[in-house]
Structure 1
Amino acid sequence: MNYNIPSHLIGLSEEELAQSRSQFGYNEVEKSKSAKWYQMLLDILKEPMLILLIAVSIIYLIVGNYSEALFMLGAIIAVSAISFYQDNRSKKALEALEKLNEPLSLVIRNKQVLSIPTHEIAVGDLSIIEEGKMINADGKIVHSNDFSVIEASLTGESYSIFKSKDTEDRNVYSGTLVASGLAVFEVEKIGANTKIGAIGKSIKDIEAEISPLQIQITKFVKGMAVIGVVVFLMVWVFSYFQTGSIINSLLAGLTLAMSVLPEEIPVAFTTFMALGAWKLMREGVIIKRSNVVETLGSTTVICTDKTGTITENSMHLKQLYDFKSDKIYDDKDFNEPILNEIISYSMWSSEPVPFDPMEKTIHKVYEETQTVDLRPQFKLFHEYPLEGKPPMMTHVFKNENGELIIAAKGAPEAIISVSNLSDNQLLTLRTQFKTLGQQGFRVLGVAKSIFTGEQFPEKQQDLEFEFLGFTIFYDPPKKGINDVFQKIYHAGIKVKVITGDNADTTHAIAAQAGIINEAPAVNGTEIMACGKEELVVLSNKTSLFTRMFPEAKLEVVKALKQNGEIVAMLGDGVNDAPALKSAHIGVAMGNKGTEIAKAAASLVITNDDLDKLIIGIEAGRRIYANLKKAIQYIISIHIPIILTVSIPLFLDWIFPNIFTPVHVIFLELVMGPTCSIVYENEPMEKNTMLLKPRKLTDTFLNWKELSISIIQGLVITIGVLFAYQFTVNNGGDEEKTRAVVFTTLIFSNILLSYVNRSFYYSIFETFMNKNSLLFGVTTAVLVFLMIILYVPAVSEFFKLSALNFNELIFAGVVSIVSVGWFEIYKFLKRQKS
């Protein structure tokens, strides 16, 4: 891009850069040290399940059961290894998320404008900053155009401050945001020496808000932990009165406590969210906080900007309307002499160093059509920034001879209202730009003024303007955008377009993009005039919001939230930032989005493709559904373990201690990978994106879902205890009974993991969903089971005997009946729906 930088701004030479780097270093703050592997391991060993395992190991050592103690040591290593793998995997995923692409900064070196990684900014550099960008070093302004900055990160004040090299305060600071215009500043401080670096308050120190799901899961796990403690004490006391042995009763209590504690649930939550965010990052969707994934699947309304989000933001200057000749000229006729004036004044009304796509186009057309380029002769002398509702802007240029050029451009309504026009002319022009807007064109009015006084009026609207015509841009909808909106509507999500453009243009583009609209467009002024209740109703029924300014956008988002909607706000401009911050999910565009928008957003789409948001919503729904499956699986399989351990003890059956800690920990080792690794890898069910979004306030398991899991667990318990009594009644000793019960529970566990892949589709349909991890874990568990049953040394250790073919079939049949009944329930559910 040609920034038309003044010739006296040279920047650092290579030699000066090397000297600066040697003296001041790089523009980076010391990063906080990540946790070492041994710190992670120590944290894992503090987990309740590991503490129980260590306690059991110590007891086995005390009583001289060294083989059991060795096994428990192996279990500690195995559980720690699984937890360490999961924690490390989650940690690496989160670290990858934190490594958002380092922003590039513009600097002038040896008269050349260079784009460099921000950490390479050096003291003495001339840094270029423009609207929507974050300032990445401290320094003093040496050149500026219409420049204002928001210093809320330092002062807490959110209003913008105009600065230039001539203002009393010409300092700019790292971490602040450019609200408008462009400036070049000389870098004076970098890294930790900047004002914000000295404060030392990194964003990493701010604790992330805990999500509703996280709160619900934490409460559930804490509740189960309390129950575990109570049950442990009950069993310990009860067993002691029965046996008189403190050690045996303590082992019985610890066994039951291990079976109650659902330590897999928080691990599963962390794993699902972190890996979900990491997978999305690989798709080009950067999630700033992993728990945003949870919210994505609940989105009920998408509020989207038009320019650059629905449209390509290419802003091709398609036509020019010349007021004097009352004629529209196509782009092939731009060299016509009659158009010189409107082209020139369009350019003069733009920024001298353009950053807006329309202004870049205007400068390019000026270069291509004008025989003499007057830009080097005229310098910006006075400016009125973009303001007003609808907005306009005015620039005053002056040459060495004192000649002035005063040019204005802005919304057609704004420009014609300040121009010297008759009522008939106003009516004709309004009809003209309305017709153009209905065709999907973006129209700007252009005017010029002559001023002979010495003191410019405070407001640009007080100047006397001569209307010159319209610049007519066309910004087409993105390719494939219709399909994107169809997917959004099929998912039960509403779409609202919130734009600064006029109603006619917005209506035309919305129709071309396939956006459903059944109500008149509402503008920003009307929004601000509404009461709160009225605005909730209006925002619910309206799809197109036009001539919107930041405050109005924010009010619409607030109203939708008040109405119970989960709002995703898409935007890329400075004026989108308040709404992005307020929405449940602020979505910024990665390529064309401003730094302000990215800073306010919780999600960034790297390639500006709206279809990526659909991928994010799909991921959110898949992850939430799979997390629920994992938790329901954990609840269902814990119930038979708990009851199989406790019922024989409390009812004084013939073999009261049918399971010891050795058996329970093996089952825990099976459940851990199944719930947190296997279910996380489960693909999305085919009907997921055709369902209505879930309410964010819903509990992760409602009573119906919880009751289903409890019933599944109780039925499996009945099957396992039936296998117990059947074996005993047929002459089975303790080892044979234990083998049948243990095998039945393992088979039920495996079948449950397959049946619960869907609570709607049959097990045969879900076999079509590829999940290699599930088949891998199944194979591994069956191999270990065969080793336990048929390798004598291992069988002796587990205190069970080998099963013959009929006994294996019996265990398998009991498992199929105990778990398979749920397929009948799903069949009836499908028939009903």
Structure 2
Amino acid sequence: MSFHIPEHLIGLTDEEVQRSHQKFGYNQMKQIEKSSWIKLLFDILREPMLILLIIIAIIYLAVGNYGEALFMLAAIILVSGISFYQDNRSQKALEELEKLNEPLSRVIRNSKIVEIPTHEIAVGDLCITEEGKMINADGKIVHSNDFSVNESSLTGESFSVFKDNTSEDRQVYNGTSTVSGLAVFEVEHIGKETKLGKIGESISAIKDEKSPLQKQIEQFLKYMAIIGVTVFLLVCAVNYYHTRNIVDSLLNGLTLAMSILPEEIPVAFTTFMALGAWKLMRDGIIIKKSNIVETLGSATVICTDKTGTITENSMHLKAVYDFRSDKVFNDQQFNDESVSELTQYAMWSSEPVPFDPMEKSLHQVYGETQKVDLRPEFEMFHEYPLDGKPPMMTHLFKNEKGERIIAAKGAPEAIINVCQLSKEDQSKIRKEIDEFGKQGYRLLGVAKSNFEGDDFPKKQQDIQFEFLGMVVFYDPPKKGIDEVFRKFKEAGIKIKVITGDNAQTAKSIALQSGIRGVSDPVNGDEISHLSEEELMKVVDQKVLFTRMFPEAKLRVINALKKNNEVVVMLGDGVNDGPALKAAHIGVAMGEKGTEIAKAAAAVILTNDDLGKLVTAIAAGRRIYTNIKKAVQYIISIHIPIILTVSLPLFLGWAFPQIFTPVHVIFLELVMGPTCSIVYENEPMEKNTMTQKPRPMSETFLTMRELIISIIQGLVITAGVLFIYQLTYRNGGDEDMTRSMVFTTLIFANILLSFANRSFYYTMFESFRNKNNLLIYITLGTLGMLMIMLYVGPVTQFFKLNSLNLNQLLTAGSAAVISVMWFEIYKLIKRTFNSNKDKI
């Protein structure tokens, strides 16, 4: 919106801004704390795995095992390093998101309009606010034009209040929203000193609710912790009973506790969500909270506004219908004298400084077609803002001679209702409305009045108007929008169009955009008269909702939620705010969306490309699937470690301490990066966007998935313990048995990480999805294993023996058999499912 600064509005100088910041601080509710590396490190050192490592290191030092103590120290540094790297990566991603989420504010400084981050607003600044914008500080109005504000966030009253610099109350407040016009206000209070800030101090203490997935993972970890403590005590007791050695008993118990503790899961969850949100940000999709990524993958229904969301919001004036001549004039005939009055009154009924695309178009046509521009001579002295169902607005202008112009525009039905027209004339106009509507055109009725005197009625609908005609706009669907909706349909996501436009126009645009099932629309008035039960049925069956006002939109969203749908609401206007806030995921347009819409939304599409929402939903599904893969991998590989450490002790086998803490920590160091770095980087499987959305109520691991992971772990355990017994029975000593068992487990771990890349496609099909990190970590793991087996001092430290080729092949064969059965299972499952689909 163009705004000419009045000469008396100079604003602060750079020096005055600096002094104001020094005296009053910045416009923030609280000082944002950046996580320093010291704080990150301190948080890491409180992790259970690190605490266990430190305890074991202290025990080794106490008994004089300095080599093991040094190894534990190295392990502490390495584990801390991996955690620090992951936390730092997540923290940086979240900080980048935070920066993008902060709105910009327009202020006058040094007699120029500049855009600044909202936290930089200073006391004394001259802030500019306009329709659709949030007010970001408290202050008093010094200049305004047709300005009204909604203060419901403070007062609870939903109606808008008109204010100007002559009003008794000329204060504006942080957190309120501009409904119409423009105002310049001088900032008096910022941050926690604002009216909202004082209320907000108590609100800021309220913590964000955890997502269902977070709660499920925390519950799972609690169970594992209880199991870990129980088994730790049991192992300590059994070992002490056999050996009467407290140190060995503690080390055995701690070894098992380390093997049980799945501390990789919360790290993986945080990393996946934060990096997922960061990657989407690079694609032009701003996610305000990283756990929204999880919900995106569960979306079952998308409710979309029409204008600016499905369409380009270009609003080109395509034609005008002149009522007097009963003729339609196209955009090449706007200079015709017959339509001069109609185009004039269409412009006069718009805002003097237009910001709506339709009003900008009307001002442009007026400037191009009128011989004399009367805009500088006339000043608006009274107005009726947009209201009514359907809505209309009226502007009253006068010049120095006292001549008046009274112009109204709005939904054609609203303008017809305030004009004294015969039934025949109404029928004629409605026929034109239908014809234009079928072509997807947006229509506004235009009328004039000769009202005299200053005793203006309270409602504009009480003024007598003369119908002049209609202005016809075309707002075409965005290019490629039909392909976007086809992808949503393939993904099992339903589409609902919720628009303030009339039925014919909305239906035509919906059909042009590839949306089906729009033949029987329902309008906002019908919605408001339905009972809760009736509405739940209607929102399930209908696709097109027309002439919708904010309260009706909100009712539709809430009814869909009661139908157990996971609702995504797309919108860009002020009136979309309540629905955006109420939906599970509100999505606002970044370029043409109002600030109110962006503030209410959880996701912002920076370039208004609806196709980005397909990317976001696909990312949500990919991340959720990859978290499950990581968790299933962790469960499967922990089982053989736990059982290999505990069963020889409980069953009284020859070598009860086959693994010591140094072996377990090595396995943990291999598993950590595999689950949190490799699986996070795993590409989306090709069938991801052809599956039905995941129900929100579904646990992150179903019983069936958990059983599969347990079976995977038990089969690997069987293979590892088979090698244990085979080596022992063939005369192997403790070091040789340990070497064979350890090598088998490492091979099985590598194969499992490849097998669990997909629970649908085979390992060999998954190779088509490039994941170079998996290759690097696999090669790194094999390299370390070779060093442990064949570099003398390292081999002795880990109490291993070098293996010959035959022994390596034996260990490898056991690993292949214990993991690769799952590939056969996947093939059988797919064949069975495809045959089932054919029946």
Q: Could you say whether these structures have the same fold, taking a TM-score greater than 0.5 normalized by the shorter chain as the test?
A: yes
Alignment of 1:24 onto 2:10: no
- Cα displacement string for residues 554-603 of structure 1 (whole angstroms, at most 9, x for unaligned residues): 11111111111110000001110111011010000000111111111100
Q: Quick check: 60-69 or 605-614, which moved more?
A: 60-69
Alignment of 1:334 onto 2:334: yes
1:600 paired residue number:
600
Q: Quick check: 362-371 or 731-740, which moved more?
A: 362-371
- Read off the aligned partner of 1:573 and give its amino acid letter: G
2:523 paired residue number:
523
2:733 paired residue number:
733
Q: 1:448–1:467: 8 Å Cα contact kept in structure 2?
A: yes
1:286-297 to 2 correspondence within 5 Å? 286-297=286-297
Shift of 1:189: 4.4
Q: Quick check: 498-507 or 352-361, which moved more?
A: 352-361
1:482 paired residue number:
482
Q: 2:789–2:801: 8 Å Cα contact kept in structure 1?
A: yes
- Read off the aligned partner of 2:684 and give its amino acid letter: M
1:461 paired residue number:
461
- Cα displacement string for residues 283-327 of structure 1 (whole angstroms, at most 9, x for unaligned residues): 000000000000000111000000001000000001011111111
1:742-761 to 2 correspondence within 5 Å? 742-761=742-761
TM-score, normalization: structure 1? 0.97
Alignment of 1:168 onto 2:164: no
- Cα displacement string for residues 368-424 of structure 1 (whole angstroms, at most 9, x for unaligned residues): 111222222222211111111111011111222322211110000000111011110
Shift of 1:274: 0.5
**Rounded Cα–Cα distance in structure 2 between residues aligned with 1:43 and 1:568:** 36
- Read off the aligned partner of 1:694 and give its amino acid letter: R
Q: 1:557–1:579: 8 Å Cα contact kept in structure 2?
A: yes
1:264 paired residue number:
264
1:807 paired residue number:
807
1:69 paired residue number:
69
Q: CA RMSD in A?
A: 1.8
Shift of 1:161: 2.6
Q: 1:633–1:756: 8 Å Cα contact kept in structure 2?
A: yes
2:429 paired residue number:
429
- Cα displacement string for residues 535-568 of structure 1 (whole angstroms, at most 9, x for unaligned residues): 1110011111000000000111111111111100
1:93 paired residue number:
93
Alignment of 1:138 onto 2:134: no
**Rounded Cα–Cα distance in structure 2 between residues aligned with 1:650 and 1:107:** 74
1:568 paired residue number:
568
**Rounded Cα–Cα distance in structure 1 between residues aligned with 2:36 and 2:430:** 68
1:151 paired residue number:
151
Q: What secondary structure, in the 3-state scheme, does the structure 1 residue paired with 2:332 have? A: helix
**Rounded Cα–Cα distance in structure 1 between residues aligned with 2:729 and 2:317:** 90
CA distance change for structure 1 residues 2 and 66 in 2, over 3 Å: closer, same or farther? closer
CA distance change for structure 1 residues 704 and 92 in 2, over 3 Å: closer, same or farther? same
1:373 paired residue number:
373
Shift of 1:207: 2.5
**Rounded Cα–Cα distance in structure 1 between residues aligned with 2:224 and 2:26:** 50
**Rounded Cα–Cα distance in structure 2 between residues aligned with 1:395 and 1:223:** 68
Number of aligned residues: 829
- Cα displacement string for residues 688-740 of structure 1 (whole angstroms, at most 9, x for unaligned residues): 10000010110001011000000000000000000000000000000000000
Q: What secondary structure, in the 3-state scheme, does the structure 1 residue paired with 2:100 have? A: coil
- Read off the aligned partner of 2:285 and give its amino acid letter: V
Q: 2:60–2:69: 8 Å Cα contact kept in structure 1?
A: yes
- Read off the aligned partner of 2:32 and give its amino acid letter: S
- Read off the aligned partner of 1:17 and give its amino acid letter: T
- Cα displacement string for residues 135-184 of structure 1 (whole angstroms, at most 9, x for unaligned residues): 23332223334422223444455543332233321111233211233223
**Rounded Cα–Cα distance in structure 2 between residues aligned with 1:19 and 1:342:** 52
1:378-527 to 2 correspondence within 5 Å? 378-517=378-517, 519-527=519-527
1:232 paired residue number:
232
**Rounded Cα–Cα distance in structure 2 between residues aligned with 1:707 and 1:187:** 62
**Rounded Cα–Cα distance in structure 2 between residues aligned with 1:50 and 1:108:** 54
2:837 paired residue number:
none
**Rounded Cα–Cα distance in structure 2 between residues aligned with 1:214 and 1:607:** 31
1:345 paired residue number:
345
1:588-737 to 2 correspondence within 5 Å? 588-737=588-737
- Cα displacement string for residues 172-215 of structure 1 (whole angstroms, at most 9, x for unaligned residues): 12332112332233344455654445667398765222000000
- Read off the aligned partner of 1:580 and give its amino acid letter: L
Q: What secondary structure, in the 3-state scheme, does the structure 2 residue paired with 1:55 have? A: helix
2:823 paired residue number:
823
Q: Quick check: 132-141 or 379-388, which moved more?
A: 132-141
Q: 1:11–1:124: 8 Å Cα contact kept in structure 2?
A: no
2:52 paired residue number:
52
CA distance change for structure 1 residues 453 and 114 in 2, over 3 Å: closer, same or farther? same
- Cα displacement string for residues 640-692 of structure 1 (whole angstroms, at most 9, x for unaligned residues): 00000111000000001101111111000000000000000000000010000
- Cα displacement string for residues 236-276 of structure 1 (whole angstroms, at most 9, x for unaligned residues): 11111111111111111111111111111111100100000
- Cα displacement string for residues 508-527 of structure 1 (whole angstroms, at most 9, x for unaligned residues): 00011101225501100111
- Read off the aligned partner of 1:327 and give its amino acid letter: K
- Read off the aligned partner of 2:63 and give its amino acid letter: V
Identity across matched positions, percent: 67
**Rounded Cα–Cα distance in structure 2 between residues aligned with 1:736 and 1:123:** 76
Q: 1:12–1:125: 8 Å Cα contact kept in structure 2?
A: no
Q: 1:10–1:110: 8 Å Cα contact kept in structure 2?
A: no
**Rounded Cα–Cα distance in structure 2 between residues aligned with 1:169 and 1:831:** 74
Q: What secondary structure, in the 3-state scheme, does the structure 2 residue paired with 1:375 have? A: coil
Structure 2 unaligned regions, length at least 5:
834-839
Q: 2:20–2:124: 8 Å Cα contact kept in structure 1?
A: no
Q: Quick check: 102-111 or 776-785, which moved more?
A: 102-111
**Rounded Cα–Cα distance in structure 2 between residues aligned with 1:21 and 1:715:** 69
**Rounded Cα–Cα distance in structure 2 between residues aligned with 1:792 and 1:694:** 52
Q: 1:145–1:351: 8 Å Cα contact kept in structure 2?
A: no
Q: 2:566–2:696: 8 Å Cα contact kept in structure 1?
A: yes
- Read off the aligned partner of 2:600 and give its amino acid letter: A
Q: Quick check: 147-156 or 714-723, which moved more?
A: 147-156
Q: Quick check: 692-701 or 121-130, which moved more?
A: 121-130
Q: What secondary structure, in the 3-state scheme, does the structure 1 residue paired with 2:586 have? A: strand
- Read off the aligned partner of 2:17 and give its amino acid letter: R
2:772 paired residue number:
772
**Rounded Cα–Cα distance in structure 2 between residues aligned with 1:238 and 1:209:** 43
Shift of 1:781: 0.4
Alignment of 1:223 onto 2:219: no
Q: What secondary structure, in the 3-state scheme, does the structure 2 residue paired with 1:207 have? A: coil
**Rounded Cα–Cα distance in structure 2 between residues aligned with 1:75 and 1:32:** 34
Q: What secondary structure, in the 3-state scheme, does the structure 1 residue paired with 2:307 have? A: coil
Q: 2:518–2:544: 8 Å Cα contact kept in structure 1?
A: no
Q: What secondary structure, in the 3-state scheme, does the structure 1 residue paired with 2:128 have? A: strand
- Cα displacement string for residues 15-47 of structure 1 (whole angstroms, at most 9, x for unaligned residues): x62453254238643632212211111111111
CA distance change for structure 1 residues 56 and 427 in 2, over 3 Å: closer, same or farther? same
Q: What secondary structure, in the 3-state scheme, does the structure 1 residue paired with 2:700 have? A: coil
- Read off the aligned partner of 2:10 and give its amino acid letter: L
CA distance change for structure 1 residues 440 and 200 in 2, over 3 Å: closer, same or farther? closer
**Rounded Cα–Cα distance in structure 2 between residues aligned with 1:332 and 1:112:** 39
- Cα displacement string for residues 46-75 of structure 1 (whole angstroms, at most 9, x for unaligned residues): 111111111111111111111111111111
Q: What secondary structure, in the 3-state scheme, does the structure 1 residue paired with 2:201 have? A: coil
